[in-house]
Amino acid sequence: MKREDFGEHFRTLEVDLSASFQDVRRAYHHLKELFSSRSIVLDPVVDELDPPTRENLIQELDHAYKELCFYFNEKASEEKLSGNPEPSRVTPPPSEGYSGPALKEIREMADVRLSDISLATRIRLEYLENIEKENYAALPPPVFLRGYVASYATYLSLDPILVTRDFMKRYEKTQG
Amino acid sequence: MGDNGKTHCSIWAVAGGKGGTGKTFVINNIAIQLAARDKRTILVDADFGGPNVHTYFGVKPGTLSLTDFFEKNVPLDALITPTGVDNLNIIPGNVNCLASEGMKYAQKVKFLRHIQGLEADYILLDLGGGVSLNTIDTFLVADKMILVLAPESTSIENLYHFVKNIYFRKLKILLGLHGLRHIAHEKWKERKTNRVQDIRGLIESLREQEPEACHLISEELSRFRVSLVLNQVRNEKQISVGISLRSICARYLGIEADFVGYVEHDAMFWQNINLEHPYMHFLKSSRLTEGVSRVTENLIAGRSFRGVRVSA
């Protein structure tokens, strides 16, 4: 699998061909946010592109990111086969946002044990389990919880900001 | 450039639509940074509407200025005034001239020609705000067109306006060179019926009649790029404005804009701006010197900004 074959997708996300997955992810989230919401940068030119063109552009970004997720996953598997340590598996964001169960699914797909995360992050195993179960009553207050979720996300190479945003939104809903 | 065996010099110009974004501040300090790298630098105050480069360096008014060039034909070399900084000289602006924006065409052409004849490694042009033809044409002569903006909606809006204006002016000049200005104008007037949406569409529509000229024009336009400097940055989030602008200019306006870096806001510096020799206070502010130094390095190397984090 050659990087050059995915060149078009790297270009769509405005990153170099040598970009790491982290660069790709950062660029994708930046551009997606830029073209899908209002901002001081976009507002003055918003009339220059008609809405369908803009919608197309966002779809192109999504498509490029999906393809690159696929590329980096395959690359990671190849490296795993060749005996390189710690391949990082990457996943497109779940459509319903980062819920506890979605995080669990991503973790299992990446073949990561909860006890490893606990060891690396020094977060108690039962907290991690309760995060995945969204068993809020058994979790610490939000100031701590947010940090735990961010650490969990970082361990899985997910964007901690996006993951905590989704997770804490769900949490806040239940707190009325 | 570099005619008659003159050593090759690079012309950098700074402009940016809106006033108050810190164009003069940024270009003055880029000049200091170039001089500190042993580059012979001449900073020309071409802000015809409101010159004040001389004040920044504590040069007393009354020395020769561009007014003498325009009114008394004093050659530009004679106007070169030393600053307190090694390797850095300035040519003070039109201090005592009324109605200075009304420069005549012949004067403008002469000014641009003489600037290119100055002997230095770098010639920096400080242009004023606004989109007057004098400003735009002077800007287009530069090897590097630097735009300074602040992370504010008003500044961003004027920046787009300015970029579109200079691009359009460049196109007009190119069309004129190839004798196509008239048909282009007609096509543009009838753009609804010709289904021409933008500048690229306009060139495409001319391509059938004038394939060769259009090829040359597209090629020239594809080399057209501006460099963006974000000034008065107060927090990390604002840096993303620079990154976003690059994307928007490319996708919405079809114009290459490199984001070359940002300069932080430093309240201490602005408290000292009214003292004598303001540039001395710039040199004392590590935040400002670091920011401008990175911008200068990137401009010299033709690199763009690479996610350097803003200090807390």
- CA distances for B67 relative to B75, B127, B275, angstroms: 11, 16, 26
**Residue the block writes with tokens 């057209």:** B224
pLDDT at B100: 53
pLDDT in tens, B238-260: 998 999 999 999 888 888 999 99
Between A and B, how many CB-CB pairs are < 8 A?
A: 38
d(CA B156, CA A41): 6
pLDDT in tens, B56-110: 888 876 678 888 898 888 999 999 999 989 999 999 987 666 555 567 778 888 9
Nearest CA to CA, how far is A138 from chain B (Å)? 35
Interface mutation vs chain A, best among B164, B243, B253, most A CBs within 10 Å: B243
Kindly report the three-state secondary structure assignment for every residue of chain A.
CCHHHHHHHHHHCCCCCCCCHHHHHHHHHHHHHHHHCCCCCCHHHHHHCCHHHHHHHHHHHHHHHHHHHHHHHHHHHHHHHCCCCCCCCCCCCCCCCCCHHHHHHHHHHCCCCHHHHHHHHCCCHHHHHHHHHCCHHHCCCHHHHHHHHHHHHHHCCCCHHHHHHHHHHHHHHHCC
Angle (nearest 5°) at CA B14 between B167 and A48: 35
pLDDT at A172 over 80: yes
Map out the domains of chain B with their CATH numbers.
3-151+228-247+255-301 (3.40.50.300)
Partner-chain contact A41 B248, CB within 8 Å? yes
pLDDT at A136: 93
Interface mutation vs chain A, best among B149, B251, B309, most A CBs within 10 Å: B251
* Predicted model pTM: 0.76
Q: Which residue of B has its CA nearest to A34?
A: B244
pLDDT in tens, A138-154: 999 999 999 999 999 98
Interface mutation vs chain A, best among B236, B247, B258, B303, most A CBs within 10 Å: B247
Q: What is the mean pLDDT of residues B290-297?
A: 93
Which is nearest to B150 in space by CA: B55, B287, B22? B22
pLDDT at B268: 73
Q: Which residue has the higher pLDDT, B295 or B274?
A: B295
The tokens describing A59, both together, are 């779809």
Partner-chain contact A31 B157, CB within 8 Å? no
Which is nearest to B308 in space by CA: B226, B242, B251? B242
pLDDT at B101: 57
CB A74 within 8 A of CB A21: no
Nearest CA to CA, how far is A174 from chain B (Å)? 30
Could you tell me the fold of the domain covering A100-174? 434 Repressor (Amino-terminal Domain) (1.10.260)
Q: Which residue has the higher pLDDT, A110 or B91?
A: B91
Q: Which residue of B has its CA nearest to A50?
A: B252
pLDDT at B30 over 90: yes
Partner-chain contact B240 A30, CB within 8 Å? yes
Query: Which residues from chain A sit within 8 angstroms of residue B157, using beta carbons?
Result: 43-44
- B145 three-class SS: strand
Backbone φ, ψ for residue B45 (5° rounding): -85, 90
Would you place residue B310 in the very low, low, confident or very high pLDDT band (cuts 50, 70, 90)?
very low
Q: Which residue of B has its CA nearest to A45?
A: B252
Looking at chain A, the domain(s) classified CATH 1.10.287 span 3-81
**Domain A3-81 indexed as CATH 1.10.287:** yes
Q: Which residue of B has its CA nearest to A30?
A: B244
Interface mutation vs chain A, best among B158, B237, B248, most A CBs within 10 Å: B248
ipTM tops the 0.85 cut: no
Q: What is the mean pLDDT of residues B36-42?
A: 96
pLDDT at A174 over 80: yes
Q: Which residue of A has its CA nearest to B245?
A: A41
Looking at chain A, the domain(s) classified CATH 1.10.260.40 span 100-174
Q: What is the mean pLDDT of residues B287-304?
A: 91
pLDDT in tens, A38-87: 888 888 888 777 788 888 999 999 999 999 988 988 887 777 666 544 44
pLDDT at B308 over 50: no
pLDDT in tens, A121-131: 889 999 999 99
Would you place residue B204 in the very low, low, confident or very high pLDDT band (cuts 50, 70, 90)?
confident
CB A174 within 8 A of CB A136: yes
Partner-chain contact B248 A42, CB within 8 Å? yes
pLDDT at B34 over 90: yes
Provide the mean pLDDT of chain A.
86
Nearest CA to CA, how far is A41 from chain B (Å)? 6
d(CA A146, CA A140): 10
pLDDT at B136 over 70: yes
Would you place residue B48 in the very low, low, confident or very high pLDDT band (cuts 50, 70, 90)?
confident
Would you place residue B309 in the very low, low, confident or very high pLDDT band (cuts 50, 70, 90)?
very low
- B186 three-class SS: helix
pLDDT at A87: 44
Nearest CA to CA, how far is B260 from chain A (Å)? 15
The tokens describing A166, both together, are 């989704």
Per CB distance under 8 Å, which residues of A are interface residues toward B?
Answer: 14, 30-31, 34, 39-45, 48-49, 57
